[in-house]
Amino acid sequence: MTKHIIIAGGGPTGLLTALGLAQQGHRVTVLDAEDKPSDSPRALVYHCSVLPHLRDLGILDDCVEAGFLRQDHAWRIYETGEMIRWNLSCLEGVVEFPYSLNLGQDKLARVVLEHLKKHSNVTVRYGAAVVGGTDHGSNVTVQVASRGEQEEIEGDWLVGADGAGSFVRRQVLKMQFFGVTWPERYVATNLRIDLDALGFSNTTMQVDPVYGSVICKIDPNHRWRVTFVENADVPMEGLEQRAHQMLAKLLPPGVQYEMEACSPYRMHQRVADRMRHGRILLVGDAAHVTNPTGGLGLTGGMFDSFALVEALGRVIDGRAGDEMLEFYDRDRRQKFVELVSPRATQNLQALYHLLPGQQRDQWIERARAIAADRDQMRQVLVFHEQMRTVF
């Protein structure tokens, strides 16, 4: 049975959901208020646990071609320069793909868009904002504003994939978004710099209460993402100048670089009270947001997408009843509350908040012990497998 699913939000999570549903044969309309997919510095690392799903969608090879695979991971102690190296090779024989994918979120969106073009049952509209929506019990209607005009679209289901400020969550479902906002402002910079020559891993987490940072290679052409935090009370004016001042201190002395982008954003730990109400479902940042330390935000959103496609597909073709969507709601929210948010919070605190003293010394000793013991390393790195919904 073919149904029409309307997706609010044309970022990676919305587009992946569209592709999965389109491959099931359903009609899909994607609506996004922006004129094009965002190219600002955002998610970059996709953990090994999502790669089988990208393979099943038929996009893994193109994703790898647009980015690169890596196994190395390091914690760098800023004060001493010590590199504590972990490696995903310990997962060989345990998971199907014992490596992670480094790929800019904007490139992922472009890969998925190219695959969506192969499906005549998909319409993707940028510059089309969802400004209203109603669940009528047997169907949904969505009001859309585009180029100064308004129209109404009818569908069978509405998926809110429209980010942390989700209109679907706030105005259509009128749901709360419980949680906290971190006092720091995240600043993500894209740099052209040669950090391979200085011994940095493709993903390096630099530990320091002042110069803590996430340092990730974007591509093999000496492009890196360096992300740090600053006090959110500092005015936005002068951000780029402050970024240069911070980079001069957190990077090795004398290293030369060219800044290509600088993007600030706030960090939150928040979750909606539900991820489904009637014929309206939420995925990704529309349902929950986390600080990005450790790359769990979009990874969690991707698992939402994979689970929603499976659950909704079973309901539409009669293999399951309404309880399947209730299971989606409970399971995905539980995964965020009990796994994703606590781990991301631990990562942030280790990177930016450990002051010199016994607690920090104990954390460093544990990181060293994990690096020296592949069994311990395997137990830590297999964490992301728990984020998957098992039907």
Q: Which domains does the chain have, with CATH numbers?
A: 4-68+103-179+269-351 (3.50.50.60)
For the chain, how are helix, strand and coil distributed in percent, rounded to 5? 40, 30, 30
Q: What is the dihedral of CA 137, 143, 144, 145, to 10 degrees?
A: -170
* Buried b or exposed e, range 66-88, using 16+ CB within 10 angstroms: bbbbbbbbbbbbbeeeeebebbb
- Res 41: pLDDT: 67
Tens digits of residue pLDDT in 98-144: 999 999 999 999 999 999 999 999 999 999 999 999 999 999 999 99
Helix (H) or strand (E) holding 188: strand 177-192
pLDDT digits (tens, 9 = 90+) for 17-28: 999 999 999 999
Cβ atoms 30, 123 nearer than 8 A:
yes
Contact 76, 65 (CB under 8 A): no
Q: Could you give the angle at which helices 12-23 and 105-116 cross, rounded to 10 degrees?
A: 30
Which of helix, strand or coil describes residue 154? strand
* 277 vs 135: CA distance, rounded Å: 9
Q: What is the pLDDT of residues 282-307, one digit of tens each?
A: 999 999 999 989 989 999 999 999 99
Q: How confident is the model at residue 168 (pLDDT cuts 50, 70, 90)?
A: very high
Q: Which of 250, 260, 269 is nearest to 181 (CA)?
A: 269
Residue with tokens 């393979």: 55
DSSP-assigned beta bridge partners for residue 32: 126
Q: What is the pLDDT of residues 55-109, one digit of tens each?
A: 999 999 999 999 999 999 999 999 999 999 999 999 999 999 999 999 999 999 9
Token pair for 241: 């100048």
DSSP state of 171: I
Tokens of 344: 């991301």
Q: Which of 198, 322, 182 is nearest to 250 (CA)?
A: 198
Query: Which residues have CB under 8 Å from 304's CB, separation 6+?
Result: 13, 275, 283, 284, 287, 332
What tokens were used for 116?
A: 């969506």
pTM: 0.96
pLDDT tens digit string along 229-274?
A: 999 999 999 999 999 999 999 999 999 999 999 999 999 999 999 9
Q: What is the mean pLDDT of the chain?
A: 96
For residue 16, which of 140, 126, 159 has the smallest C-alpha distance?
A: 159
pLDDT in tens, 2-57: 899 999 999 999 999 999 999 999 999 999 999 988 877 678 999 999 999 999 99
Phi, psi of 368 (to 5 degrees): -65, -40
Residue ranges of E strands in 222-357: 223-231, 258-272, 276-277, 280-282, 288-289
Nearest to 172 by CA among 128, 147, 136: 136
Cβ atoms of residues 140 and 158 within 8 Å: yes
pLDDT tens figures, 178-217: 999 999 999 999 999 999 999 999 999 999 999 999 999 9
Q: Structure tokens of 384?
A: 């992301």
